[in-house]
Amino acid sequence: MKVEVTSQALTEVAVDVLILPLTEGAPAPTDVNEALGGLCAQVVGADFKGEMGQTTLLYTGGRLPARKVLLLGLGKAEKVTNRSLRRAAGIGARAARKSGARSIAFALPGAVEMDEAAAARFITEGALHGLFRLPDWKSEKKPRPEVEAVHILGGERAREGAEHGRIVAEGVNLARALAWTPGNHLTAAKLAERAAEMCRENGIEVEVYDKKGCEELGLGLLLAVNQGSREEPRFIVMRYKGNGGQGPWLGLVGKGLTFDSGGISIKPTEGMWNMKMDMGGAAAVIGAMQAIARLKVKADVMAVIPSTDNMPDGGSYKPGDVVSGLSGKTVEIRSTDAEGRLILADGLAYAAKQGCRKIITASTLTGACNIALGPIRYALVANDDAWEEEVYRAGEAAGERGWKLPHDEEYYDLIKSSVADMINGTKNRAAGTVAGGLFLMKHVGDTPCVHLDIAAVAWKSGSDEYEDEGATGVGTRTFVEAARRFAEGLR
């Protein structure tokens, strides 16, 4: 998708739909209103109230170079946030597309407390998310109208913001497409190919370990989960050297479970299809690495993705088994459905042993996360308050929201085992999301580490006026912003 910033006036830009974002009570721009013979003034405050997400389409009848004008509501000025502006832009872009537009232009909103770069950034993100088509495997391809160019009316600061927004949005959309892809089309081997392809295109070094390679590395927990599968596991390591490769390294670790049946502790049929998205954390890591490289972030960033599916079979690992992996810690298996923390433990131990200074990990780890926070905020669990706060703020700044869960010592009792160093479940299902997160912390030694449990926010059911249903790519933006801030901290 082309995104262009132009200094043309509203009354000059020749596009199919000119989109005017307006807060509640704000008048339409005078020049447009005058060109349309006072039409905007009649509609604004009458049919069009400026409520968040409201759209009203006006035909210009040749009185402007733009064929139509779309009034787009932003809600109350003081309530506009990076997220609401992004959402509004997606709604506007989709409404324009629905009306047959091939080219659209956004005016920047007045009357909101956001600088030009930020406004252009979040409008661009929203437009590119709203217009994105997830891949499908239908045998008949119906021709669909597509917007080919998005213009933003603004100056130099808007240009920087729009460029940033485009790169981030492309990373998020890549993550969405990957997490949406069926498990048989995206096995661990194929996920590794896709990651490697992205790395080649963006100047990132990549190593992919196959089953034998995993054995040589000592990834016993990833291999235990893989035991019941016909598909080989992969362990993917990407290195982006934005600071010359001498470190310090930021580690990003993502759960790459290409399909989670639960294994021997098999899940109920209903909703199991959806577990093709259990590599949403890995997808966010891949999308973020692409964006980090394209933004030329001045930090060294290492990304680690353990990948396999989780299947029942005569050879599967079983409840009661005791297994261990790269960290050397032993784990008593209580549920083969708590597989994510196992493969991540190997990924995290690898990142820590490679000397990463700080680590962030994202995964669709626990259903309990949906009980605790619902599909609104992801959960953060950490071993270091300061690093957790930094990641939390990076998420907010990038338009993703999290919530910090506790990590008091007593919570570690939830994962105590009488035969091994820990269990992979939680006693009495208490504090499931905290237990899952603290399990991970047991494998990073002293390295500051923050875990994002994106289980409830990685998927949205049903398309709406903003975005299509399916994988959301959440996590990607937090990773990118945290990497930018990590880079700033080095200077």
Residues lying near ligand BES in the complex (CB under 6 A) are found at: 260, 278, 335, 337-340, 364-368, 425-426, 432, 455
Q: What is the smallest separation between the CB atom of 366 and ligand BES, expressed in angstroms? A: 4
Q: Does 309 bind Mn ion (CB under 5 A)?
A: no
Q: What is the smallest separation between the CB atom of 337 and Mn ion, expressed in angstroms? A: 4
How many residues contact Mn ion, by CB under 5 A?
2
Q: Which of 16, 309, 332, 337 binds Mn ion (CB under 5 A)?
A: 337
Is 341 among the catalytic positions? yes
Q: What is the smallest separation between the CB atom of 317 and ligand BES, expressed in angstroms? A: 14
Distance (Å, whole) CA 111 – CA 127: 21
- Closest to ligand BES by CB, 89 or 368: 368
Residues 6+ apart with CB under 8 A from 194: 178, 186, 286
What angle is formed at CA 389 by the lines to CA 383 and CA 392, rounded to 5 degrees? 105
Q: What is the smallest separation between the CB atom of 180 and Zn ion, expressed in angstroms? A: 16
φ, ψ dihedrals at 257, nearest 5°: -80, 105
Q: The tokens 């997830």 sit on which residue? A: 134
Q: With helix as H, strand as E and coil as C, how does 71-138 read?
A: EEECCCHHHCCHHHHHHHHHHHHHHHHHCCCCEEEEECCCCCCCCHHHHHHHHHHHHHHHHCCCCCCC
120 binds, among ligand BES, Mn ion, Zn ion, none (CB under 5 to 8 A by kind): none
Q: What is the smallest separation between the CB atom of 208 and Zn ion, expressed in angstroms? A: 22
138 within 8 A of 446, measured Cβ to Cβ: no
Say how many residues make up the chain: 491
Is 460 among the catalytic positions? no
How many separate helices (H) and strands (E) can be counted in the chain? 14, 20
335 binds, among Zn ion, ligand BES, Mn ion, none (CB under 5 to 8 A by kind): ligand BES
| Sheet strands (E) in 263-391 | 300-310, 322-324, 330-332, 358-363, 378-382
Site residues for Mn ion, 249-308, by CB under 5 A, read 260
Region label for 312, one of left (φ > 0), alpha (ψ between -120 and 50) or beta (otherwise): beta
- Closest to ligand BES by CB, 186 or 487: 186
Distance (Å, whole) CA 97 – CA 144: 10
- Closest to Zn ion by CB, 278 or 388: 278
- Closest to Mn ion by CB, 94 or 276: 276
Q: How many CA atoms lie within 13 A of 79 on its CB side?
A: 12
Q: What is the smallest separation between the CB atom of 450 and ligand BES, expressed in angstroms? A: 19
Q: Where are the alpha helices (DSSP H) in 182-251?
A: 188-202, 211-217, 220-226
Structure tokens at 62: 């040749």
List 157, 267, 401, 460, catalytic entry = 267
426 binds, among Zn ion, ligand BES, Mn ion, none (CB under 5 to 8 A by kind): ligand BES
Q: What is the smallest separation between the CB atom of 419 and Mn ion, expressed in angstroms? A: 22
φ, ψ dihedrals at 149, nearest 5°: -145, 135
- Closest to ligand BES by CB, 6 or 335: 335
- Closest to Mn ion by CB, 260 or 481: 260
Distance (Å, whole) CA 453 – CA 468: 22
List 121, 159, 341, 358, catalytic entry = 341
367 binds, among Mn ion, Zn ion, ligand BES, none (CB under 5 to 8 A by kind): ligand BES
332 binds, among Mn ion, ligand BES, Zn ion, none (CB under 5 to 8 A by kind): none
Q: Does 163 bind Mn ion (CB under 5 A)?
A: no
Q: Could you list the residues that contact Zn ion (CB under 5 A)?
A: 257, 260, 278, 340
425 binds, among ligand BES, Zn ion, Mn ion, none (CB under 5 to 8 A by kind): ligand BES
Distance (Å, whole) CA 202 – CA 198: 6
Mind telling me the catalytic residues? 267, 341
Contact footprint for Mn ion (CB under 5 A): 260, 337
